[in-house]
A and B are shown apart, each in its own frame.
Chain A
Amino acid sequence: MAWKGVLAPVKAVLPKNPWLRVLFVLVPVLLVLALFNPALEVLLKVVDLFLRVLEPLLQTTLGRIALLTGLLGVTALLSYWLLRQRLRDWRGEAALGRHLQATAALVGQNRRGSRELFRRVARYGGPLPARYRHVVQDARLKLARLTLKDDDVDEALRWLQRVIEKDLPKELQRSLLQLRLEALRRQGQFQPATLRREAEAAAKRFGDDVVILSVLRDLCIEQDCLDEAVEWQERVATHAAPAGKATESQRLVDMLQDAGARALAAGEHTQAQKFAKRLKKADPDGASAGLLLGDVHRGLGELRKAVEAYGSTRSPVGLDRIAEVLREHPGAVEPRELLAICPMQGALLLVARELARAGEHARAARAASVAAEALGPTPTVCAVLAEVLDLLGDQQNAQLLRQDTVLRLLTP
């Protein structure tokens, strides 16, 4: 290629238009040939020879086809040589156009069409368009995403492996990290520790990326690091998009509940109490925090505090837990105290049941009456009061209560 360097000054002098360039070169050549007659003759002889060779070819169809093909080929080569830069631009722009079509198909939920188009762009090896030089990498990432969605993890990994990371913009790098982590985790052939290291590095770089954080959470769960998983889930719930916030918050609440239960089972009451506080923060309007706190107190034998915590939830589950406490520890809380710390109408049922179990029939009957009056014939009231009336030996009223409840259900 050294001759290119030699010709460089000449090229610099030549005009920019390719036709003018050709003319610029041909004119001196023709002049030289005109000045030197023998040379012209030689040239004419060469032309004559060329025509003699062509003539037989022109006589047959095959020859004419060969000549035509040759002519077209030479024209094409010449055109290419003359328009090569423009063609390179066109190719890049065409690839970009295809990529845009694929993206449009993806946005329009035409997954099959978009996959085909992305596949063609992903295989493209020509010049890259100046306006978006990451077109091929982008197509590969999108293909990986699509195949991952179709649970074709190996195919996704293949596409991801072909993505050239160098000079990728941050957005595509983030996608690459996300997809690779997800694919590797789902493939299951990599060591969790390796994956986790990679995920943690990704999380350091993109701390608010819900997908990366979710992968980390799942990895922690797989490795049985459940408390750590809760921490990751907290970050997931914080950064989740509004549309998915409810789901992630629910998952966080569930995980915190499970973590609290585990801590309780392990006898780590302080830890469980911390989880209760975190639950309160995660689910301020829900009953879960109060229930866990009540469980903690129950575990510590602080039954009054437990009942108070359960009662503060103002939830049927809270009432259930109080019922459990009273069943395990009859008389642990006086009825009057119970109503004071848990001022719910459902607590009247508990009072009635407690009094009936304690053999205080008159008070139990009155409590049942007060409860029935306050609550009306609902399924729970029916069940509990039937039990109470059964204990009081008043089966007839129990039956009437059941009948009244069913009648209400059957009445429009």
Chain B
Amino acid sequence: MAASFLRQDPSAADAPQGGAWDALLDVVRAPYVVELLLLLGVVGIGFFVVRRIVALVRHAGDRAALADYLLGVEQALQGDLSGAEKRLRAVVAQDPDNHFGRLMLGKVLGDLGHAEQAHQQHVYLRDAFQVESGENELLLAQSLLAAGLPAEAADVGERAMARSPSQAAGWEFVYRARLRQGDHEGASAAGKKLLACVRDPAERARLQRDVARTFAEAGVLAWRSGDGKHARHLAKEAAVLDEGQGALPLLRARLDAAAGDRAVLAKQLSIVPEEETPRDAGAMVPAGATANELAAVDGPGALPIATFSGLLEPARWICRSCSQPLERQVHACLRCGEADPCELVEPSLVASVESPTEAMDRIDVNDAHVKRLIQRLARGDAAARAELVQLGDAAVPELLRAAWRSSGAGAELAISALEELGPVVAPVLFEAGDQLARARLLPLDDGPATVIGRVVQSYGRDALPHMEPLFRSTRSDHRRILIDYFLGLADVDAFQRVLERFPPMEILRHLNEARPEVLRSFLACVPRGHFLSESLLLEPTFYRDDALLAACAEAEDRDALVAVMLGREPTRTLITSLVAGLRDEVLAPTAARVLEAIGEPALEHALAAFASEDADEAVHERLARVVVRGGAAAAAHIAESFGPEPSAVDDRLRRLLVIIGDVGVDALLAAFDRSGWLEKVAVGLLSRHNNRRVQLARALGELGTSTARDALHVLIEREKDDNLRLTLERALHGAGGSRG
């Protein structure tokens, strides 16, 4: 065909036409067609070549600071980051449209640790120069990650990966960023995509293990949030990737526990088989024994970590971002790239002991520890109290010292702690008391015996065996303790031993010093006819009349105590106690009874209490009853009680006089006649100093009996003062007895 084409055989033109091919052949065979085509081809090729060259030349020509750009890139590649930064900054300044220069500058700035500046360059590229580049997006994401914004970095990374979804490096970045964010679920998804892009078998196997852990960790998070179904699904995913994943056993156990009985499962998992010792069982193994990496760090005597048959991974640290167990303290997490990632699994192990001395004192249970406990006890610390009680004998000496030396609530708390310790500590208590007593240089006070006595009182009969040795002692403090103890027993029969061995004066002294509640309980047991009621309590040196009255409330034989009170001289203490007793609902009847029985010696006190404004109406009523029972004597006292000027109490006193009635009229007459020195001096001059007489006159008027009226008549006749006489007449008129 070529030969015929070259020859241009004219006969060929006459040949029959054979379709399109022949037509094309005819066209080509026509003169100058080939030449034209050749010319066009050559010109076209020439045009293409020239255009390409021009494009390249223009591309180079558009760039300023070219040498700086290329050398800057080279510097960046060789690791001279500061030099590269300087050059590339100059390039970008001269040629802002050099996008790759800017991209490289951003990368260099990121590597230099200037994440914010790097971010700025990548954002310029994206927003100002409208560069739609996956690489720029990834670098932008990296700068965000370096700036500590893993969530944003992962989002940007994912957007970048939407452009090139088969780029393994990009997915790896997203995976790490999600891990650093702590978003294990997001990391799992990125990890799966990463696995699809990785071809190298070794790398793929390593990544599979890693992603399996991420799935398991995501499962733990789902379990924590209560989504057991999803957690189970994630556990299955993890198992598919790596059945031997270390985080899986615990996740499975947790899921099983959530589905069943947690306590039973915990018990099952914590049991160490009997034939194996804990160290051999695998339930608790030294850190290095199962973690081969840790074995190099930890020696054979190191502190063991319980793994509960593989439930836990024996690691001391985990990454604070991705929770990867770390075999040692590292500067960066190999899994997620977090800097300084180490977080202790058991931070309490290295937490400071607040006071080593205190901790050791606590272990040794020495005096210092007990003293600290007592200090805490004084502040109301219930735990300290419980520990002191638990310490038993060891706590007694210091508690006793505190109870003796302290005052107020501190002493009370120490005593109550000693009481709580119970009678078993009695011997130690006595011994401690002896030691404290011996150590006293200046015995200015009673010593610890009072406290001991008070404490043993609370022990009751259980302490009796411990008290026996004290009977043989001649020491005054022991005797005191004994008496206090028997007082506290509130058993008159038992007290008989005290009465037999101790002089009455000593017993009386202790009775006087006894605490009110103890003495009250004791006195309540005293029967009629006993030595105590017949003799000892009648002694004038027994000062505790208040306790006598108080004991009446709970006494089996109240009359016995009433008899004791009446048998005693009506001392001021007794009467004061009785008057005070009128204020008590329970004691009031007894007090009133005794006061009435005492008679006149008690009247003045009762009247004084009656005049007081403090008491309520019921108490006034009781007092009034006691006073009224005094009759004429009471009237005389009342008549002397009016003041020179009117007061609020006058009406109440007058009312008493009215209640006393005719019995008191003579006493009133006598009182009217008896004028005070002020009345004598001011006779007829100052009317206000006549209040007493005015009140008496009014009382007589209010009484209104014939005796009273007669008395008024007598007084009117005798009275020289016109004002008083007028008052008397008015009273008489009020009483309805005017004579004329």
Contact = CB atoms under 8 A, between A and B. Distances in A.
A386 B276 CA distance: 14
Contacts of A280: none
Contacts of B253: 409-410
16 contacts: A97-B55, A100-B66, A109-B135, A142-B77, A210-B79, A241-B111, A249-B331, A253-B331, A346-B348, A383-B306, A398-B278, A403-B270, A405-B270, A407-B263, A409-B308, A411-B262
B330 to A, nearest CB: 6
Given A96-B66, A383-B303, A387-B278, A243 B74 contact: no
A171 B331 contact: no
A399 B308 CA distance: 12
Contacts of B299: 320-321, 324
B396 interface: no
A209 B110 contact: no
B678 interface: no
Contacts of B56: 93-98, 101
Which of A171, A209, A374, A381: most chain B CB closer than 10 A?
A: A171
A169 B87 CA distance: 14
A62 B66 CA distance: 50
A410 B360 contact: no
B356 A399 contact: no
Interface string B425-437: 0000000000000
A97 B352 contact: no
Given A324-B301, A387-B278, 4 more contacts: A343-B352, A379-B305, A380-B346, A403-B270
Contact of B71 (A93, A172, A320, A406): A172
A355 B359 CA distance: 14
Contacts of A399: 270-272
Interface stretch (A13-21, A227-235, A310-318): A310-318
A243 B70 contact: no
Interface string B243-262: 00000001001100110001
A379 B78 contact: no
Interface residues of B, number: 109
B323 to A, nearest CB: 15
A82 B101 CA distance: 37
A99 B223 CA distance: 56
Interface string A341-376: 001111111110001000000010011001000111
A104 B287 CA distance: 52
B135 A108 contact: yes
Interface in A392-411: 398-399, 402-407, 409-411
A403 B312 CA distance: 14
Contacts of A374: 348, 351, 353, 359
A336 B78 contact: no
Contact of A379 (B35, B81, B135, B306): B306
A15 B406 CA distance: 124
Interface stretch (B19-27, B209-217, B361-369): B361-369
Interface stretch (B57-65, B408-416, B637-645, B729-737): B57-65
Interface string B269-308: 1111000001100011101000000000111111111111
B6 A62 contact: yes
Contacts of B60: 93-94, 96-97, 100, 129, 131
B319 interface: no
B284 A382 contact: yes
Which of B73, B270, B300: most chain A CB closer than 10 A?
A: B270
Nearest to B338: A246
Interface residues of A, number: 110
Nearest to A108: B135
Contacts of B34: 61, 64-65
Interface in A201-239: 209-211
Interface of B: 5-6, 8, 31-32, 34-35, 38-39, 42, 52-53, 55-61, 63, 66-67, 69-71, 73-75, 77-81, 83, 100, 103-104, 107, 110-113, 133, 135, 146, 169, 223-224, 226, 250, 253-254, 257-258, 262-263, 265-267, 269-272, 278-279, 283-285, 287, 297-308, 311-312, 314, 316, 328-332, 339-340, 344-346, 348-353, 356-357, 359-360, 362-365
Contacts of A101: 56, 59
A344 B71 contact: no
A333 interface: no
A406 B79 contact: no
B103 A108 contact: yes
Given A211-B79, A351-B363, A410 B329 contact: no
